[in-house]
């Protein structure tokens, strides 16, 4: 059997030269700037961003590079090294949401979004993209593209948002809008925040609670696996495109319906509330019950913690969850909500385990996350489950799908030097089952999007 290919990150200087070259070859003159934005791997906290929850991404060393120049008119022309002979174009004048087809909707959508947000000075541009982020693998090539474009446009049109973490939040909103509104690809913000706001050697604790400022929403967390003698293997299952149309939207809708039934704005409110309650059997339950987080905010159905606590005095996490689940429509909605609430809780547990150097616990949390995504949220496919199972059998501390699911990649926490062997064992099992040949990459915490030329 052939050995699993590992995708190496491009060297910044070489990739900047390649993007520059593609630009000159395509447009006959030189670009003004070259920016790079990374793909990302989410360590834990999946399908939590649009629920106001927590995530823990790292930026990959794998990046998308864009060579870009402003234009005097409102024309946009884009080319990518995926197919260097195909130049796509669009006119920003009179452009509406959803009017651009194909991959160019992502970069065109960024300029359109900035203009829609009121930045009237933004006009057309020419751009050439070179990338080593695998496309459609759950590693956010789309955010790498929109974020590199947003920063390059910020630069050539002098908006001044790229230099600060706070300013980048404006550009992130434009990148999210490009995906949601122009490309029609629903996204909750994790990818764009990771690409723009991570730092080398760190994961970020990304808090998606609505209304937080830059400082409150991101906390860097040291992420140095080498110091623990470990590696993070990322394996792209290369599963063929799934018929997942509407699945992501359906999950979001179910969560919104659950919120309406529970009388909360986001499921994060419930997650915070239960996290503040003692577990069954823990001492001193009575004093915590009625006065815990969320007390006094009775839901539409009279289900607030203060209300419940007043009746039986000693509200516990388990009892509160039982009431929450009991207020939901059916078993399916209960399982969707159970995933979101438990997954939000796992993020801070995982951060604590990292801080204590308890890598076995980190691995257990990875496993619990995957199992919840498989059984409760139902976003895995056989390729993801098989890859995770083989990684665990090969001695991984933990393994889980990463990204939205329905295909894409898994991550596995393995002893240093084991990535190749684990990836090969997965590839061999894939071959036996007639799955597509997977590919892999070694992940470490890279830098956020930045100018490279
Ligand atoms: P992911 O973001 O996980 O890679 P998505 O489906 O969200 O998966 O985004 C993949 C899409 O983004 C591609 O199908 C393509 O339309 C676009 N894209 C991303 N990077 C590039 C690139 N370098 N060149 C052309 N298109 C790209
Ligand atoms: Mg994407």
User: Beta-strand (E) ranges in 223-302?
Assistant: 230-236
Examine residue 23 and state whether it is found in any structural domain, yes or no: yes
CATH code for position 197: 3.30.230.10
Examine residue 406 and state whether it is found in any structural domain, yes or no: no
Distance from residue 385's CA to the centre of ligand 2 (Å): 21
Q: What average pLDDT does this structure show over 313-317?
A: 86
Atom of ligand 1 nearest to the CA of 135: 4
d(CA 439, CA 236): 5
**Residues 368/224, Cβ–Cβ less than 8 Å:** no
Percent of the chain with pLDDT over 90: 90
DSSP secondary structure, 154-212, as one string: HHHTT---TTSHHHHHHHHHHHHHIIIIIS-----SHHHHHHHH--TTEEEEEE--TT-
Q: What average pLDDT does this structure show over 52-79?
A: 98
Q: Is 64 in the pocket of ligand 1 (CB under 6 A)?
A: yes
pLDDT of the residue at 307: 44
Atom of ligand 1 nearest to the CA of 80: 24
Q: How confident is the model at residue 300 (pLDDT cuts 50, 70, 90)?
A: very low
d(CA 61, CA 319): 44
**Longest CA–CA separation in the chain, Å:** 76
Q: In degrees rounded to 5, what are phi and psi of residue 216?
A: -75, -30
Number of domains forming the structure of the chain: 1
Look at residues 17, 49, 4, 15 and name the one whose alpha carbon lies nearest to residue 248.
Answer: 49
Q: Is 33 in the pocket of ligand 1 (CB under 6 A)?
A: no
Examine residue 199 and state whether it is found in any structural domain, yes or no: yes
Q: How confident is the model at residue 1 (pLDDT cuts 50, 70, 90)?
A: low
Which residues are within 8 A (CB) of 84 and not within 5 positions of it... i.e. 6 or more apart? 22, 25, 26
Helix (H), strand (E) at residue 21:
helix 12-27
Q: Is the pLDDT of residue 230 over 70?
A: yes
Examine residue 339 and state whether it is found in any structural domain, yes or no: no
Sign of CA dihedral 245, 247, 253, 257: positive
Q: If you take atom 18 of ligand 1, which residue's CA is the nearest one? A: 142
Helix (H), strand (E) at residue 52:
none
pLDDT of the residue at 379: 97
Distance from residue 136's CA to the centre of ligand 1 (Å): 6
Atom of ligand 1 nearest to the CA of 105: 16
Distance from residue 367's CA to the centre of ligand 1 (Å): 28
Closest ligand to C-alpha of residue 146 is 1
Atom of ligand 1 nearest to the CA of 408: 3
Examine residue 235 and state whether it is found in any structural domain, yes or no: no
Q: What is the ipTM of this complex?
A: 0.99
Give the structural domain span for 191.
12-224+446-451
Q: Is the pLDDT of residue 288 over 70?
A: no
Q: Is 108 in the pocket of ligand 1 (CB under 6 A)?
A: no
Q: Is the pLDDT of residue 152 over 90?
A: yes
Q: In this structure, what token pair is assigned to residue 228?
A: 């623990």
Which residues are within 8 A (CB) of 183 and not within 5 positions of it... i.e. 6 or more apart? 100, 105, 106, 109, 142
Q: How confident is the model at residue 129 (pLDDT cuts 50, 70, 90)?
A: very high
Examine residue 44 and state whether it is found in any structural domain, yes or no: yes
Look at residues 67, 181, 174, 191 and name the one whose alpha carbon lies nearest to residue 133.
Answer: 191
Q: How many CB atoms lie within 10 A of CB 286?
A: 13
Q: Is 138 in the pocket of ligand 1 (CB under 6 A)?
A: yes
Distance from residue 322's CA to the centre of ligand 2 (Å): 35
The overall average pLDDT reported for the chain is 93
Examine residue 162 and state whether it is found in any structural domain, yes or no: yes
| β-strands 75-80, 125-131 pairing | parallel
d(CA 344, CA 353): 15
Distance from residue 409's CA to the centre of ligand 2 (Å): 12
Examine residue 367 and state whether it is found in any structural domain, yes or no: no
Q: If you take atom 3 of ligand 1, which residue's CA is the nearest one? A: 138
d(CA 107, CA 84): 16
């Amino acid at each position: 059997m052939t050995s699993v290919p590992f995708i190496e990150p491009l060297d910044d200087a070489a990739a900047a030269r390649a993007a520059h070259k593609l630009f000159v070859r395509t447009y006959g003159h030189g670009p003004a700037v070259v920016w790079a934005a990374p793909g990302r791997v989410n360590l834990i906290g999946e399908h939590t961003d649009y629920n106001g929850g927590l995530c823990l991404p790292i930026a990959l060393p794998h990046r998308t590079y864009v060579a870009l120049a402003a234009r005097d008119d409102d024309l946009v022309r884009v080319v990518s090294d995926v197919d260097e002979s195909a130049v796509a174009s669009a006119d920003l004048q009179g452009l509406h949401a959803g009017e651009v087809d194909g991959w160019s909707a992502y970069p065109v959508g960024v300029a359109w979004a900035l203009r829609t947000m009121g930045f009237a000075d933004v006009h057309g541009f020419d751009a050439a993209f070179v990338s080593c982020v695998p496309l459609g693998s759950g590693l956010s090539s789309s955010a790498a593209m929109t974020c590199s474009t947003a920063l390059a446009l910020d630069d050539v049109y002098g908006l001044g948002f790229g230099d600060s973490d706070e300013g980048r939040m404006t550009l992130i909103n434009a990148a999210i809008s490009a995906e949601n509104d122009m490309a029609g690809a629903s996204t909750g913000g994790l990818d764009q925040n990771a690409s723009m706001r991570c730092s080398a050697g760190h994961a970020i604790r990304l808090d998606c609670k609505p209304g937080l400022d830059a400082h409150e929403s991101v906390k860097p967390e040291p992420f140095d696996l080498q110091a623990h003698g470990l590696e993070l293997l990322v394996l792209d299952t290369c599963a063929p495109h799934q018929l997942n149309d509407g699945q992501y939207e359906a999950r979001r809708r179910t969560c919104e319906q659950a919120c309406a039934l529970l009388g909360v704005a986001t499921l994060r409110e419930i997650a915070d509330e239960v996290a503040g309650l003692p577990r069954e059997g823990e001492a001193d339950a009575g004093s915590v019950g009625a006065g815990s987080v969320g007390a006094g905010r009775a839901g539409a159905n009279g289900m607030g913690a203060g209300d419940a606590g007043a009746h039986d005095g000693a509200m516990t996490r388990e009892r509160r969850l039982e009431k929450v689940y009991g207020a939901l429509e059916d078993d399916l909605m209960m399982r969707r909500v159970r995933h979101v609430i438990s997954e939000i809780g796992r993020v801070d547990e995982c951060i604590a385990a990292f801080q204590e150097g308890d890598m076995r616990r980190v691995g257990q949390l990875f496993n619990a996350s995957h199992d919840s995504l498989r059984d409760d949220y139902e976003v895995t496919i056989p390729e993801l489950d098989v890859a995770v199972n083989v990684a665990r059998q090969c001695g991984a501390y933990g393994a889980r799908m990463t990204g939205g699911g329905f295909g894409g990649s898994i991550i596995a926490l393995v002893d240093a030097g084991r990535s190749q062997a684990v990836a090969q064992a997965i590839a061999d099992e894939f071959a036996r089952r007639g799955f597509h040949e997977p590919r892999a990459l070694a992940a470490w915490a890279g830098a956020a999007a930045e100018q490279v030329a």
